[in-house]
């Protein structure tokens, strides 16, 4: 088994694990952080698939801006009296 | 019991999906040779940019229109009134870092825009970097949240789309929407991408800054 294949398999497993953990996370904050990690791993996956254009867009918009928006929304939820957690 | 049935059903579906994917034959039509063959007429040398801005420019035109409409809808629900003034930042290290990073991010955005013609890059990535710089400045309280957009901001938000639309409409006289003459294609694509970068940066930053409440 070559190193590249091993890395790809590891990446795919990490993506699946991350997405599952993000969906099943007990708190919203953990879910948001896992979503950002998922976006960064996805960037790696696009780069491995030889699609650097999509990797750039995913890193900038998917992981960066969406993550910032979600974190800000979480902060706004908390300030408004909600705990920002699932009921 | 119900849980088990759902899990079994999902597993069966996943297995069927995987089997179906493995059964797929080679795709009937590949467009890559077509793009490679006509790349010389597109005005750029990077195939992704050629597809986005030239061969399928119509899709990109509609994409920027969708983003603009989304932002207009957002300003309708965002809070009215004066944005609270940015207060002094609490973390001097963070502020200094943001001040250092923002000009570099603008430089990276310009590089990505320019590089889009011949290597991975382009207007969307450059706009995202610009927007990220604005969000960073806002989070370090160097840039206040946006209230009702003024004339300049409105012009900036809509400018990229309007420029794209104007070029598309002007090219209608040549016979087809967004069919660039090969001699001027590179210049037209660069003009459209420059406008798109500014507008996309403002639109993506606006998604954050119009909704943001200043921390008090």
In a domain, A40, yes or no: yes
Burial class (CB in 10 A: 0-12, 13-18, 19+), B116: buried
d(CA B109, CA B201): 9
**What is the tens place of the pLDDT at every residue in A28-37?**
999 999 999 9
Please say if the pLDDT value at position B99 is more than 60. yes
Question: Does B124 touch chain A if contact means CB atoms closer than 8 Å?
Answer: yes
What are the structure tokens assigned to B6, written together?
A: 């759902």
Burial class (CB in 10 A: 0-12, 13-18, 19+), A21: middle
Chain B residue at shortest CA distance from A65? B132
d(CA A24, CA A47): 27
Residue A9 — pLDDT band, cuts 50, 70, 90? very high
Find chain B residues with C-beta within 8 A of A68's C-beta: 132, 135, 139, 208
In a domain, A87, yes or no: no
**What is the tens place of the pLDDT at every residue in B130-175?**
998 998 888 888 888 887 788 898 899 999 999 999 988 888 887 7
| 8 Å CB contact between B116 and B187 | no
Nearest by Cα to B44 from B35, B32, B108, B199: B35
Task: Tell me the DSSP string of chain B.
Answer: -HHHHHHHHHHHHHHHHHHHHHH----S---HHHHHHHGGGSS-S-HHHHIIIIITHHHHHHHHHHHHHHHHHHHHHSPPSPPPPPPPPS-HHHHHHHHHHHHHHHHHHHHHHHHTTTSS--HHHHHHHHHHHHHHHHHTTSSPPP-S--HHHHHHHHHHHHHHHHHHHHHHTTTSTT---TTTHHHHHHHHHHHHHHHHHHHHHHHHHTT-----
Residues in chain B: 216
For residue B194, what pLDDT is reported? 92
Q: Do B125 and A60 touch (CB under 8 A)?
A: yes
Q: Do B125 and A56 touch (CB under 8 A)?
A: yes
Find which of B32, B128, B197 to mutate to test the A interface (most A CBs within 10 Å of its CB). Answer: B128
Distance to chain B for A16, nearest Cα, Å: 13
d(CA B197, CA B160): 7
Q: What is the mean pLDDT of residues A47-58?
A: 89
In a domain, A86, yes or no: no
**What is the tens place of the pLDDT at every residue in B202-212?**
999 988 888 77
Residue B110 — pLDDT band, cuts 50, 70, 90? very high
In a domain, A21, yes or no: yes
Chain B residue at shortest CA distance from A58? B125
Q: Would you say the ipTM is above 0.85?
A: no
Distance to chain A for B214, nearest Cα, Å: 10
**What is the tens place of the pLDDT at every residue in B174-192?**
777 778 888 888 888 889 9
For residue B216, what pLDDT is reported? 38
Question: Does B35 touch chain A if contact means CB atoms closer than 8 Å?
Answer: no
For residue A87, what pLDDT is reported? 42
Domain count of the fold of chain A:
1
Q: Do A56 and B48 touch (CB under 8 A)?
A: no
Residue A41, domain extent: 3-79
| 8 Å CB contact between B140 and B100 | no
Sequence-distant (6+) residues with CB within 8 A of B167 are B178, B188, B191, B192
Please say if the pLDDT value at position B214 is more than 60. no
Q: Which of A60, A75, A79 lies at the smallest CB-CB distance from B132?
A: A60
Residue A45 — pLDDT band, cuts 50, 70, 90? very high
Domain boundaries defined on chain B: 2-209
Nearest by Cα to B160 from B128, B132, B201, B119: B201
pLDDT > 90 fraction of chain B, expressed in percent and rounded? 31
In a domain, A84, yes or no: no
């Amino acid at each position: 088994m070559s190193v590249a294949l091993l890395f790809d398999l590891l990446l795919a497993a990490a993506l699946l694990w991350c997405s599952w953990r993000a969906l099943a996370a007990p708190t919203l904050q953990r879910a948001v952080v896992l979503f950002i990690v998922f976006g960064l791993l996805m960037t790696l996956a696009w780069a491995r698939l030889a699609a650097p254009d999509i990797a750039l867009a995913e890193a900038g918009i998917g992981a960066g801006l969406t993550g910032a928006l979600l974190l800000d929304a979480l902060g706004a939820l908390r300030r408004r009296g909600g705990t920002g957690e699932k009921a | 019991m119900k849980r088990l049935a759902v899990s079994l059903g999902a597993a069966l579906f996943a297995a069927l999906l995987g089997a179906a994917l493995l059964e797929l034959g080679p795709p009937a039509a590949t467009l890559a040779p077509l793009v490679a063959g006509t790349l010389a007429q597109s005005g750029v040398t990077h195939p992704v940019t050629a597809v986005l801005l030239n061969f399928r420019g119509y899709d990109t035109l509609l994409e920027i229109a969708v983003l603009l409409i989304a932002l207009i809808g957002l300003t309708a629900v965002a809070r009215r009134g004066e944005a609270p003034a940015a207060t002094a930042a609490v973390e001097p290290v963070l502020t200094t870092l943001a001040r250092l990073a923002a000009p570099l991010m603008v430089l990276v955005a310009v590089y990505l825009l320019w590089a889009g013609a011949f290597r991975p890059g382009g207007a969307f990535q450059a706009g995202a970097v610009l927007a990220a710089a604005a969000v960073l400045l806002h989070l370090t309280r160097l840039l206040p949240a946006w209230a009702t957009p003024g004339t300049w901001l409105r012009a900036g938000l809509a400018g990229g789309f309007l420029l794209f639309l104007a070029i598309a409409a002007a090219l209608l006289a040549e016979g087809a929407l967004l069919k660039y003459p090969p001699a001027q294609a590179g210049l037209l694509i660069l003009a459209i991408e420059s406008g798109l970068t500014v507008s996309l940066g403002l639109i993506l930053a606006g998604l954050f800054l119009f909704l943001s409440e200043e921390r008090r």
